[in-house]
Amino acid sequence: MISTINKIDRIPDTWIFEHYCNLNEKLHGQDVKILSKFNLKDTIPSMFIYLWNTKYYFKDFSSDKSGDGIKLVSHLFNINRYEAKERIINDFFNKKDI
């Protein structure tokens, strides 16, 4: 049996951001500015997805939330980090278009 740690390490952080932020473009090294996923009143993009040291992170200036892909999912669904990992694993391995 593959552990949660091994499974989450096999999921590209690009997929996490593309999937949960409904990005219209693939991430391949660029930074992206989008409307906040946490503030529905946002009319000017205030959420940034950026690459730092080969890993993607987000910073949402309208809600002051930030972190990696797991933290994003944790905030989006109001769940803890472990539950966020489980959700990502289930979504990736059960619904991934190959």
So where are the chain's domains? 4-93
pTM score: 0.89
What integer best gives the mean pLDDT of the chain?
A: 93
Q: Kindly report, residue by residue over 57-77, the tens digit of the pLDDT.
A: 999 999 999 999 999 999 999
> In this structure, how many other beta carbons lie within 10 angstroms of the beta carbon of residue 36?
18
Report the candidate in 82, 95, 48 with the shortest Cα–Cα distance to residue 67.
48
Q: What is the pLDDT of residue 98?
A: 43
Q: What is the pLDDT of residue 6?
A: 83
- Tell me the backbone φ, ψ of residue 51, rounded to 5 degrees: -95, 130
Homologous superfamily of the 4-93 domain (CATH): Zinc finger, CHC2-typedomain (3.90.580.10)
SS3 assignment, position 22: coil
CA gap 41, 6 in Å, rounded: 38
CA gap 6, 34 in Å, rounded: 30
Q: Residue ranges of the alpha helices (H) in the chain?
A: 4-9, 13-20, 69-77, 81-95
Token pair for 54: 């080969």
Mean pLDDT confidence for 6-33? 96
The one-character DSSP state at 40 is: T
